[in-house]
Chains A and B, each alone.
Chain A
C-alpha cells in the first residue's frame, strides 16, 4: 500500500479533524506502517515544540565576557595574538577576503535574529492559542 502523503500527515499531526474517507485509510495505514508512524511522530514533535514556545525560549545574545574568555583561552597558544581593540571585544570582524555576500548575509542574519518581529509574533500567537484552547495540545 502507498505511504501517506506528507501533506496529509501534516494535517494529522496538527490535530485537524478527519475530512474524508482518505483519513480513515491513512490512519489504518499508519497503524501498520513503521515508516509513516515514525514520520508522524517526528512531525508531532516539531509541532509540539512550535506550539509550546515561550518568551524565554527566544535566542538572546550571549554577554560579551563569554567571547572574551573564549578568545583568551582558544588563541593563547597561537604564535601571534589575534586582533585586539574594540572589534576583539565581540566577534564582529569577518574576513575581508570572504565573498561580500557571505559577510553581508552573516551581518544581516545576526541583526535579524536579535530583533525579529516574527519571533515576537510567534510568542504572541502561541500564547493566544494556548489560552484559546485550554487543555489542547
Chain B
C-alpha cells in the first residue's frame, strides 16, 4: 500500500491575495472594502440563509445581521485563525441557528396554544447542516480552477475512477490525482474551516 505523504496544500495565490486585501480593508474600517466583501460573499450568505430558513425575508434579516455584525465586530477577525470567507460563513451558521431557535420557540408557543385548542401541532425545523454543506460546496466548486473542477465532476457525477479520468482526458494519472487532491482540499476547507476551534468569531 502506498504511503500517505503529508504535503501542505494552499489555495490559489490570487484568491488568497484578494481575501487578504479585503480583510485588511475591513480591519481599518474601509467602507469600499466592506462593499466589496458584501459583493463577494453577500449572495452566498443570503442563499445559505434562504435555503435553511425557507423564507426570503428571514434570509434578508440574517444577511443583514451577518454583515452588520462583521462590520461592527471587525476587530474580532483574526486572520491567523482562518480566511475572511470562513469567518463570515461561521457567523452565518450561528445566525441561522439563532433564527431557527427563535422560530422553534414561536412554534412551541403555537404548539401549546394548538394543544389547548385541540388543533394540529407545529412542525420541527430540520437541522440545517446538510443543506448548508451543499450551498457552500457548489459555490466553492464553481471557484475551483478548471482542471480540478473537471476531474472532481467526473469523479462525483460520472462515477469514474481516477485511472478512468486519466484515460478519458489524456492527463497523466499523477496529474489527475493531484488535481483531485487539491480540489477536494479546497472543497473540504470551504465546508469545514469555519467550524474549526477558534475558526470564527462573532
Contacts and interface: CB of A to CB of B under 8 A. Distances in A.
B137 to A, nearest CB: 4
A22 B40 CA distance: 44
A99 B35 CA distance: 16
A106 B31 contact: no
A129 B138 contact: no
Contacts of A31: none
B149 interface: yes
B89 to A, nearest CB: 12
Nearest to A80: B31
B191 A46 contact: yes
A94 B137 CA distance: 27
Given A2-B4, A51-B156, A61 B43 contact: yes
A110 B139 CA distance: 11
Contacts of A19: 161
**Is the contact region of chain A dominated by helix, strand, or loop, or is it mixed?**
helix
B61 to A, nearest CB: 9
A17 to B, nearest CB: 10
Contacts of A93: 32, 35
Interface residues of B, number: 65
A29 B2 CA distance: 12
Given A10-B155, A119-B142, A4 B4 contact: yes
Interface string B18-52: 10010001000011111110111011111100110
B139 A6 contact: no
Given A95-B30, A101-B14, A129-B157, A67 B38 contact: yes
Interface in B135-173: 135, 137-139, 141-143, 149, 152-153, 155-159, 161-162
Given A29-B1, A91-B38, A50 B32 contact: no
B38 to A, nearest CB: 5
Contact of B1 (A25, A45, A47, A74): A25
A113 B136 CA distance: 12
Interface in A10-30: 10-11, 14, 16, 19, 22, 25-26, 29
Given A74-B67, A110-B39, A95 B3 contact: no
Nearest to B15: A105
Contact of A50 (B4, B42, B64, B152): B152
Given A49-B191, A53-B134, A98-B21, 5 more contacts: A4-B1, A4-B4, A19-B161, A66-B63, A67-B42
Interface of B: 1-4, 14, 17-18, 21, 25, 30-36, 38-40, 42-47, 50-51, 56, 59-60, 63-64, 67-68, 71-72, 130-131, 133-135, 137-139, 141-143, 149, 152-153, 155-159, 161-162, 177, 180-181, 184, 187-188, 191-192
